[in-house]
Chain A
Amino acid sequence: MDLLERYLGAIARQLPEDQKADVTAELRDLLLSQVEEAEAGLGRAQTREELEALLIRFGHPLTVAGRYRKVQHLIGPEVFPFWWAGVKLSVLIVVGLYAVLLAVELLGGRAEIVMDDSAIPSLTAALVFAFGAVTLVCALIERFGKTAMLTNWKPGELPPPEGRTRSRFDIIAEIATGAVFILWWTGVVHFRNFIPDLGLTIDLAPVWKVWFWPILGYSVFELGANLLALLRPGRVRTVEALLLVRSLVAAAILTAIFQAGHWLDVSSLTWTPEAQQVAGEKFDRGMRIGIGVAILIFLGMAGVSGWRLRAAILSARPVGKALAA
């Protein structure tokens, strides 16, 4: 019977303190009843091998103890579809972020965390982290019975048919680019060797410092608007209104910056002052074209958003009237 006590002890170790004595006493009685019944049938005492076989049939101690646990699963069938969607989405965002970083590396740069000059975590580490974070959030929702947070929904918030809004790919690409930009703009990461070594040092002109906070505010706003567009694609009017606002704000900020006329400071220890000036003028000319084009793009985006917003408002007529029309 030493084997039986060891088995019950192994089960007891997995049980909550307040259930240990009670559950093991009941299981002991059940197992002894089975042993007695088997012995009555055999007309002799059970061998150790027969007792082992009985315990194996009864189940692994972890399995037996697990059945008494209140929580039987980490993520149940109700939360599972949301967990799966969350994992897919987080993987897409992480891969998008790393695609932007890879693009930078292909251009010769190398992203580093400024705080300790360490390398950016590997894609695998980031994916494992994203998987763990989504799983943890879903497990907590499951554990605390807050599934209604996920399952309550309104048919009116379903996304419109395909082709009438931005694609998920576009939104994820914007999120990834925006996140990398914010990390760079706030100095969390920097890019080494991004520009080929021409013996020149290129820094942002003072105008960018003046506009540091508005640009950061705009970038955070853009990230939030894109996340909303990704997670709540059915809120067409809100999403389009935010896109309209941010496109206009971006155009306004860039227009103000455009007025400065000088955007990059060029210096060199090896180049003559005249050569530096010529190079600086060329860089500024490039920036002038770049900023000008960006302003036009943002204005175009604002126009498209305005048109989509108008269409969304018009299509929000009552269903009966829409059908009758």
Chain B
Amino acid sequence: MAGDDDIFESLRLELRRGTLILAVLGQLRVERYGYTLRKALAEVGIEIDEGALYPMLRRLESQGLLISEWREEEKRNKRFYRLSPLGTETLARLIVEWRALNRSLDGILEA
């Protein structure tokens, strides 16, 4: 039987999973490559496994939310990502949704 800590950890991961896309889209309002994106997220307290981050970036790009470009930096080719116009529009809608959800949850949790 799973211990209390295991249950908490699994619920915590589930809770965070849905918010990661929002965090990634939010960070890519500024152009970044994968490694710096991950570091930027870590600096604000959002740890993301690179095994999940890179496939997510590709999926978001294939959905038209991101644009990527290969460029040389620090003597190495790097793939830079940024929001596409559709990504910018989608992020704005997601932010509205997130804030509304947050308000609702605050109402429940602070009652």
**Residues of chain A at the chain B interface (Cβ within 8 Å):** 22-23, 25-27, 29-30, 32-34, 58-59, 63-64, 67-68
Contact A30 B58 (CB under 8 A): no
Contact A26 B50 (CB under 8 A): no
Q: Which of B50, B76, B77, B79 has the most CB of A within 10 A?
A: B50
Complex alpha-carbon distance, A148 and B77, angstroms: 44
Q: Which of A22, A29, A67 contacts B55 (CB 8 A)?
A: A67
Q: Note all chain A residues with C-beta closer than 8 A to B55.
A: 67-68
Q: From B51, which residue of chain A is reached at the shortest CB distance? A: A59
Contact A30 B50 (CB under 8 A): yes
Shortest CB distance B63–A (Å): 12
Contact B35 A64 (CB under 8 A): no
Contact B51 A58 (CB under 8 A): yes
Q: From B58, which residue of chain A is reached at the shortest CB distance? A: A68
Give the number of residues in B that approach A within 8 Å (Cβ atoms): 14
Q: Which of A25, A26, A34 has the most CB of B within 10 A?
A: A26
Contact B51 A29 (CB under 8 A): no
Known: A58-B50, A63-B51, A68-B55. A32 touches B76 (CB 8 A): yes
Contact B58 A29 (CB under 8 A): no
Shortest CB distance A76–B (Å): 16
Beyond the given A27-B54, A30-B34, A67-B54, please list 18 additional residue pairs across the A-B interface where CB-CB is below 8 A: A22-B79, A23-B54, A25-B77, A25-B79, A26-B34, A26-B79, A29-B33, A29-B35, A29-B78, A29-B79, A30-B35, A32-B76, A33-B35, A34-B35, A58-B50, A59-B51, A67-B52, A68-B55
Residues of B contacting A: mostly:
helix
Q: Which of B34, B51, B70, B77 has the most CB of A within 10 A?
A: B51
Q: Note all chain A residues with C-beta closer than 8 A to B78.
A: 29
Q: Note all chain B residues with C-beta closer than 8 A to A33.
A: 35
Complex alpha-carbon distance, A90 and B58, angstroms: 40
A-B contact pairs, 17 of them (CB 8 A): A25-B79, A29-B33, A29-B34, A29-B77, A29-B78, A30-B35, A30-B50, A32-B76, A33-B35, A34-B35, A58-B50, A58-B51, A67-B52, A67-B54, A67-B55, A68-B55, A68-B58
Q: Note all chain A residues with C-beta closer than 8 A to B34.
A: 26, 29-30
Q: Note all chain A residues with C-beta closer than 8 A to B77.
A: 25, 29
Complex alpha-carbon distance, A205 and B57, angstroms: 75
Q: Note all chain B residues with C-beta closer than 8 A to A67.
A: 51-52, 54-55
